[in-house]
Chain A
Amino acid sequence: MAATTATLAKGRRRAAGPLFVAPFMVLFLLLFLTPLGYAAYLSLFQERLVGGTAFVGLDNYVKAVQDPLLIQGVGRVALFFVIQVPVMLLLALVFALALDSGLLRLARVIRLGIFVPYAVPSVVAALMWGYLYGPDFGPFAQLSRALDLPVPGFLSEGWMLASLANIVTWEFVGYNMIILYAALRTIPQELYEAASMDGAGAWRTAWSVKLPALKPALMLTLLFSVIGSFQLFNEPNLLMKVAPDVISSSYTANLYAYSLAFTGQQVNYAATVSFLLGLVIVIASYAILLTANRRRTP
């Protein structure tokens, strides 16, 4: 009798695992894999003026990789990534180490204050910085005029990418800092004791104990940053209204896909561009993962 209930319970138990997982997996299939597959499918067709939609194989991809607007858009976000992400992560790292060092007064206030921009929608962030950047009424312009200095052209062609980078940095340094700080807080005490026993000072401890322990968390923040910067959309889309001459509808790859789909009605080509952009991001993420793993196991 006891044996049968045990087997019964075991059988029920084995069935329970898939049941817990099922709701998520069903939605994942419907809302993640299906759109992905649909994008791939759409990208193989073209809408013709005569004759409706026709299967064209990889023609859209051939067109896309030669499309100067797309290449420029991807190039721009790649440049953005190369400059903005290291600055942001370095700041986040320095702040996290400073908070963790125990040397700060008001550490709690500082930590939460730096994190607060994360809770601000990127729309609001872009609107605020848009006004702050303003060459006529922005406070920086006002100050420069009061001091008889040239007004900084934050919204000019040469500065725009840096101005966008500043907005994104402002939004996400705190978020990355919190992830790194949380990782630092879990380094076991014994490691510090061992380090101080070996005569390591604060800098040495940071370099030899804290940084290696931070590697997984840094990896995580780096991956999120790849995804975030290659998808850049909200900030340029909002600053576009302030500086329409500088930000075109193909300023970033994502902005380009959006305008193709919703202004140009070129659905199939838009799907191709989104799909390619996704591919670029996945490849970039893998490249980072692989280099990191190779370094870890020499």
Chain B
Amino acid sequence: MTTTAPPPAATSTSPKERRPATLRRRTPSSRRRSTPLTIAMLAALAYFLLPLFWLLIASTKSTQDLFNSFGLWFSHAPQLLTNVKETFAQDDGVFVHWLLNTVMYAVVSAIGAALLAAAAGYGFAKFRFRGDRAAFNLVLGAVMVPTTALAIPTYLLFAEAGLVNTPWAIILPSLVNPFGLYLMRVYAQDAVPDSILEAARIDGAGEARIFFTIALRLLAPGLVTVLLFTLVATWNNYFLPLIMLNDPELYPITVGLSSWAAQAQNGGAGTSSDMLALVVTGSLISILPLVAAFLLLQRYWQSGLAAGGVKQ
């Protein structure tokens, strides 16, 4: 299964393409703007924002209003704060657990995965050693192996190791990001000049110190990219926690929300009839942190992606 695929055109990187991606090449003011194209793109934008707009509206409604009022506009009695309060209070505040679990799983996995990928990418890019090529190609082939082909056997292995139904069951598999390694290797190749490494070595700096004080800083945009994308992957992960966890206290927000949704769709039998409003409000709360992270860090991940997407 783990085959050695050359990356598509890995060698076709011309020196010209190696410019830092952050350099902007055109001055926008020298061009004319097109109103028809802008209108067409705004129409497309409306499609992408429509469900989020619905979510925003829906989270101000009671379950009853969700059924009785028009979906894409406010009802007569908006109650966002009540919904938020009830979402946090439901089932003895289990939603707070879900939020904190999600943050913990995502942050630990993302930092771990990014550092592991950065160290290994740097090692593959800047050192020659026996088997380096074979090892790298092995990981590269793994980019194509679907995570779900791994999920069920991983579950079975973890069950035998007693790791099922613990946070490790979510964090450990998220630490290995083959594409992140690939990205960091490509990035390290250009972002960390050999001359700086040589200079530091002549000054007597140890390899570990060089990595942590010099290389890591130069790798920052690539690191943030891997960090953010692992963060999203873990934050949004559903399949893995669904099979690994059965204690609601350990659920991340995705599995928690889907369990609430299942209750709401069963007609709320035996539970509060306000379930649907809670699912909607909980959904809104769950997407805010990631959207904020992406907006705040956009400069970093956009330049990091440029490196990975182009130099394939």
Contacts and interface: CB of A to CB of B under 8 A. Distances in A.
Interface in B279-308: 279-280, 283, 286-287, 290-291, 293-295, 298, 302-303, 305-306
B176 A31 contact: yes
A185 B143 CA distance: 25
Given A110-B42, A121-B254, A190-B16, A278 B207 contact: no
A123 to B, nearest CB: 4
Contacts of A31: 150, 154, 172-173, 175-176
A183 interface: yes
B142 interface: yes
Contact of A270 (B8, B48, B152): B152
B169 to A, nearest CB: 11
Interface in A29-45: 31-36, 38-40, 42
B139 A28 contact: yes
A238 B37 contact: no
B58 A131 contact: yes
Given A103-B32, A120-B287, A137 B232 contact: no
A132 B71 contact: yes
Contact of B148 (A113, A231, A286, A293): A231
Most chain B CB neighbours (cut-off 10 Å) among A23, A119, A142, A217: A119
Contact of A170 (B48, B149, B258): B48
Nearest to A140: B71
A160 interface: no
A47 to B, nearest CB: 13
B235 A28 contact: no
A128 B51 contact: yes
Interface in B174-230: 175-176, 178, 181, 201, 206-208, 211
Interface string A226-252: 010011011001100110000000000
A219 B32 contact: no
Contacts of A20: 119-120, 122-123, 127, 207, 211
Contacts of B173: 31
B89 interface: no
A118 B305 CA distance: 15
Interface string A114-139: 11111111111101110110001111
B55 interface: yes
B17 interface: yes
The secondary-structure label for the interface of chain B is helix
A174 interface: yes
Contacts of A90: none
B120 A23 contact: yes
A123 B71 contact: no
Interface residues of B, number: 115
Contacts of B120: 20-21, 23-25
Interface stretch (A9-17, A64-72, A149-157): A9-17
B26 interface: yes
A219 B143 CA distance: 14
Interface stretch (A79-87, A203-211, A255-263): A255-263
A267 interface: yes
B157 interface: yes
B258 A123 contact: yes
Top 7 A-B pairs ranked by shortest CB distance?
Answer: A17-B127, A20-B123, A139-B71, A278-B149, A24-B120, A182-B306, A16-B207
Given A123-B254, A261-B152, 17 more contacts: A21-B132, A23-B116, A23-B120, A36-B145, A38-B156, A106-B38, A112-B295, A113-B45, A115-B294, A120-B287, A127-B257, A183-B310, A185-B25, A188-B25, A219-B8, A274-B152, A278-B1
22 contacts: A20-B120, A24-B176, A28-B142, A31-B172, A36-B2, A39-B150, A98-B37, A104-B38, A117-B51, A118-B294, A123-B255, A127-B258, A179-B305, A188-B19, A189-B25, A216-B312, A241-B261, A261-B243, A285-B144, A286-B5, A293-B9, A296-B9
Interface of A: 9, 12-14, 16-21, 23-25, 27-28, 31-36, 38-40, 42, 91, 95, 98, 101-106, 109-110, 112-125, 127-129, 131-132, 136-139, 142, 170, 173-174, 178-180, 182-183, 185-190, 192, 215-217, 219-220, 223, 227, 230-231, 233-234, 237-238, 241-242, 254, 257-258, 261-262, 267, 270-271, 274-275, 277-279, 281-282, 285-286, 289, 292-293, 296
Interface of B: 1-3, 5, 8-9, 12, 16-17, 19, 21, 24-26, 28, 31-35, 37-38, 40-42, 44-45, 47-52, 54-55, 58, 66-67, 70-72, 116-117, 119-120, 122-124, 126-129, 132, 135, 139, 142-157, 172-173, 175-176, 178, 181, 201, 206-208, 211, 232, 235-236, 238-239, 243, 253-255, 257-258, 261-262, 265, 279-280, 283, 286-287, 290-291, 293-295, 298, 302-303, 305-306, 309-312
